[in-house]
């Protein structure tokens, strides 16, 4: 078996994105990108929760504390106003009491300003940027604080005038109550937002966890699918180590994209096929050697008696009287059979003692043309038409000219016997010889006949002593294959059927011999 591979192709090159490393890297990158995206989404949600919580604690807690202080101070002033109003005769205040009351009014105004500071600061910060509802709440509270600040601001009135202004103090008290109520509503809404953000964060975390789990499963499955050829390759290596040669095992290695693993699998199966072929040839060679030794021994034992028999037949023919025509006819048949047996013994000896080929560069076209010119007359006399498609250019091979000539001659004799042995209807016996290049590294000689085809295993017909003919030796085709393999080629049955068969002799091609350099050349 000749493995048709281009030895000059060099190492295979892979696109990085189609290679094994590219696929695994892509799967890992997909998981990492998904993890990074999940982290960013969760960070955004956590920051949203943190922003709302900070708004709740840093702004509203501080605001409520300052507002409570201001309201407490306002309630004390309100108690003094109520006491002043309930007295039948307004009491006369000392200068010390006046100063204390004025200090209380100033403290109330300062506490209101202090309550406004966190609200005003929150309005100008990034914490509430983009949150329209929070901005509206803060702006409304800031407006109400501005109104309250204007109510409690010192106006230069005397303590008695302030104590007499019951209506003004009542407005201030309602303003404090409205601010407290508005603050409670804003805090409740903000707490609802924080709780909603927390639930949303939990849902997103669960969803992203599911997505990450699905991506992890996808990555694991992807890696398993990507590395599956390695597992199958390991199984084939294990089978090979047990002596079981894989047959057709590289079909799975040719599907899908080409990568390092697929190339390694193909190279392994090429190696396994080469080893199997080498082992088969070694076994076949040992078997042929044993059969050759046996054939040589048998031939040696037969050839001497045949020579003696032929000599005695000649002597006997000389002793017959001239009128013994029947005796001469019978002796002629004996002589013909002796000659046939001698040819068979010589063929056996040639098979058993075939010399190594004397390789020289020869033009295969010329070898086949010379052979057809020599053998074409015999084929024509037998009524066989021969058609030779001669290439326009030479086809050079390194071969033993005589052995290649014998191989092609055996194929021609085999084709002749095929077209003449049986009735093929109205078709005239025909042999078609064609030389061509099935690939850049080989040349082939195809011998096609229009016989009935080969009704046997295409490989068994090349085994020594196997024949389907009544008087065949079973050595013609085995000799052809042996010669072909001795030259680094092969001989195969390319096609067979009711319309005929095509036998192919495949030989490695070579470069033409270099032209001789003239003696006068520099």
Q: Per-residue pLDDT tens for 131-167?
A: 777 788 888 888 988 888 888 887 777 777 777 778 8
| Residue 197 vs residues 149, 188, 351: alpha-carbon distances, Å | 35, 14, 94
Alpha-carbon distance of 362 to 412, in angstroms, equals 20
| Residue length of the chain | 522
pLDDT beyond 50 at 16? no
360 with 398: CB under 8 angstroms? Answer: yes
- Asked if residue 452 lies in contact with residue 415, where contact means CB atoms within 8 angstroms, the answer is no
pLDDT at res. 503? 94
Burial of residue 431 (number of CB atoms within 10 Å: 0-12, 13-18, 19+): buried
Q: How far apart are CA 344 and CA 346, in angstroms?
A: 5
Q: Helix crossing, 20-54 with 260-319: angle to 10°?
A: 170
Q: Which residue has the higher pLDDT, 365 or 222?
A: 365
Q: What is the DSSP string of 389-444?
A: E--SS--EEEE-HHHHHHHHHHHHHHHHHHHHHS--TTPPPEEEEEEEEEETTEEE
> Residue 413: pLDDT above 60?
yes
- Mean pLDDT is highest, among 136-150, 192-206, 335-349, for 136-150
pLDDT value of residue 435: 94
Q: Which residues contact 307 (CB under 8 A, 6 or more apart)?
A: none
Rounded to 5°, angle at Cα 243 from 237 and 244: 75
- Cα 39 to Cα 43: distance, rounded to the nearest angstrom: 6
List the domains of the chain with CATH numbers: 20-217 (no CATH), 260-352 (no CATH), 360-508 (3.30.565.10)
Q: Kindly state the average pLDDT of the residues 74-92.
A: 78
Q: 46-57: per-residue pLDDT in tens?
A: 777 676 676 667
Q: What is the pTM of this model?
A: 0.45
Q: What is the mean pLDDT of residues 292-296?
A: 62
Asked if 175 and 147 touch (Cβ cutoff 8 Å), the reply is yes
Give 490's strand partners: 506
What are the DSSP calls for 455-469, one per residue?
-S-TTGGGSTT--SS
pLDDT at 360 over 80: yes
Instruction: Provide the pLDDT for residue 4.
Output: 38
Task: Quote the CA–CA distance of 1 and 5 in Å, as a whole number.
Answer: 12
pLDDT band at 11 (very low <50, low <70, confident <90, very high): very low
């Amino acid at each position: 078996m000749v493995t048709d591979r281009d030895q000059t192709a060099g190492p295979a090159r892979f696109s990085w994105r189609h290679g094994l490393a590219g696929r695994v890297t892509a799967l890992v990158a997909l998981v990492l990108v998904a993890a990074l995206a999940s982290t960013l989404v969760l960070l955004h949600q956590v920051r949203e929760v943190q922003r709302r919580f900070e708004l709740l604690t840093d702004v509203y807690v501080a605001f409520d504390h300052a507002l409570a202080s201001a309201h407490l101070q306002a309630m004390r002033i309100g108690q003094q106003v109520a006491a002043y109003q309930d007295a039948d005769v307004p009491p006369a205040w000392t200068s010390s009491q006046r100063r204390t009351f004025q200090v209380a009014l100033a403290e109330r105004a300062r506490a209101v300003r202090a309550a406004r500071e966190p609200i005003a600061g929150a309005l100008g910060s990034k914490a509430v940027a983009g949150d329209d509802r929070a901005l509206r709440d803060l702006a409304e509270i800031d407006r109400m604080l501005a109104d309250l600040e204007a109510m409690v601001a010192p106006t230069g009135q005397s303590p008695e005038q302030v104590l007499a202004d019951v209506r003004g103090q009542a407005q201030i008290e309602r303003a404090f109550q409205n601010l407290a109520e508005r603050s409670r509503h804003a805090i409740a809404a903000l707490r609802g937002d924080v709780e909603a953000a927390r639930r949303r964060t939990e849902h997103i975390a669960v969803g992203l966890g599911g997505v990450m789990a699905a991506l992890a499963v996808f990555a694991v499955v992807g890696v398993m699918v990507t590395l599956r050829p390695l597992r199958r390759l390991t199984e084939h290596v294990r089978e090979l180590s047990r002596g079981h040669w894989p047959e057709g095992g590289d079909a799975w290695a040719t599907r899908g994209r080409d990568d390092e693993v697929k190339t390694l699998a193909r190279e392994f199966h090429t190696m396994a096929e080469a080893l199997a072929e080498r082992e088969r040839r070694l076994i076949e060679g040992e078997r042929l050697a044993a059969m050759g030794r046996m054939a040589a021994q048998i031939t040696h034992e037969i050839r001497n008696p045949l020579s003696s028999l032929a000599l005695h037949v000649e002597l006997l023919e000389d002793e017959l009287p001239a009128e013994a025509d029947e005796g001469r006819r019978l002796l002629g048949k004996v002589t013909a059979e002796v000659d046939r047996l001698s040819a068979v013994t010589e063929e056996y000896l040639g098979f058993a003692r075939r010399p190594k080929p004397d390789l020289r560069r020869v033009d295969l076209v010329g070898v086949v043309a010379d052979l057809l010119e020599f053998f074409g007359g015999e084929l024509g006399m037998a009524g066989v038409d021969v058609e030779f498609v001669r290439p326009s250019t030479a086809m050079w091979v390194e071969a033993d000219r005589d052995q290649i000539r014998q191989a092609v001659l055996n194929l021609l004799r085999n084709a002749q016997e095929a077209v003449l042995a049986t009735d093929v209807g109205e078709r005239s016996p025909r042999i078609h010889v064609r030389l061509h290049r099935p690939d850049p590294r080989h040349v082939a000689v195809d011998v096609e006949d229009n016989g009935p085809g080969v009704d046997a295993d295409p490989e068994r017909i090349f085994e020594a002593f196997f024949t389907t003919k009544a008087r065949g030796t079973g050595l013609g085709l085995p000799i052809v294959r042996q010669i072909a393999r001795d030259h680094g080629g092969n001989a195969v049955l390319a096609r067979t059927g009711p319309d005929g068969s095509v036998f192919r002799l495949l030989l490695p091609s070579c470069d033409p011999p270099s032209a001789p350099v003239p003696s006068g050349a520099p």
